[in-house]
Amino acid sequence: MTDQKSLLVIGGTSDIGRAAALRYARAGRRILLASRDPDAARRNADDIAARAGVQVDVFRLDLLEIDSFEAFTDGLPLLPDTVLCVAGELGEQQRAQSETAHAVRIIRSNFEGPALVLGVFAERFAARGAGTLIGVSSVAGDRGRGSNYVYGAAKAGFSAFLSGLRNRLAAQGVRVVTVKPGFVRTRMTAGMKLPPLLTAEPEEVGEAIFAADEARKGDVVYVRRVWRSVMGVIGLIPEPVFKRLRL
């Protein structure tokens, strides 16, 4: 064992995953990227290695193949200090309403896969008595809205899973952090009109994730604090009123 700490990013081709990995790499961490598209992840890995001068390795992982999670974890060269899961896909709400297969895909790739893969690492971390699990969830999971409730429900499930895991493992030296980035300027949101004050850059999210890990405190992190208030207010709106809003 060396003293060099390590980070595994699940979702190694996402803009947030790339930014977070680069931030950890700048602090000298060894980086492992997992992605269902290893070639695209390799491009990010080379980028991070060139910029930060650390070792970056790529592993194939498809979050829809839940039977592969144990073997994936066994196949890593080490058990990382931190596992960050940023994988997920927005999907299309309207299509999910009429096409069950699409809804299933959204639910599986945003809830089932991320939750269960972190669950596998949770057991290993508990056995080791140390480790940090960070799940990138979404403010969309704080309250279901007509415009994206399939995605929102999956993220709500993921948030609840992380909350339960945190509750269970707090006494065993395992940290569980839920990150809710709000709007982020990424490929996933390219072309959308986003309010500037509520919209973070991927680098900001990466910094917030790294800072929460380093500070060893913070359970639920809203990247831009204003989101905590926004979602607080949205949570307070009585359901009879809420159901009539176009959100």
Helices (H), 53-197: 69-75, 93-98, 100-107, 113-128, 149-169
Nearest residue (CB) to other proteins, 5 versus 42:
42
Which two three-digit tokens encode residue 16?
Answer: 């947030």
Question: Which residue reads 């980086």 in tokens?
Answer: 31
Burial 27-66 (b: 16+ CB within 10 A, else e): eebbbbbbbbebeebbebbeebeeebebbbbbbebebeee
Q: Least Å distance between CB 125 and other proteins?
A: 32
CA distance 48 to 22: 6
Nearest residue (CB) to other proteins, 27 versus 78:
27
Residues with a catalytic annotation lie at: 151
Query: Taking each helix axis from N to C terminus, what angle separates 113-128 and 149-169, rounded to the nearest 10 degrees?
Result: 10
* Contact set with other proteins (CB under 8 A): 40, 43-44, 46-47, 49-53, 187
Q: Least Å distance between CB 30 and other proteins?
A: 17
Nearest residue (CB) to other proteins, 141 versus 202:
202
CA distance 9 to 35: 9
Beta strand 199-200 with 174-180 is: unpaired
CA distance 206 to 223: 9
Nearest residue (CB) to other proteins, 195 versus 240:
195
Q: Least Å distance between CB 45 and other proteins?
A: 10
Q: Least Å distance between CB 227 and other proteins?
A: 22
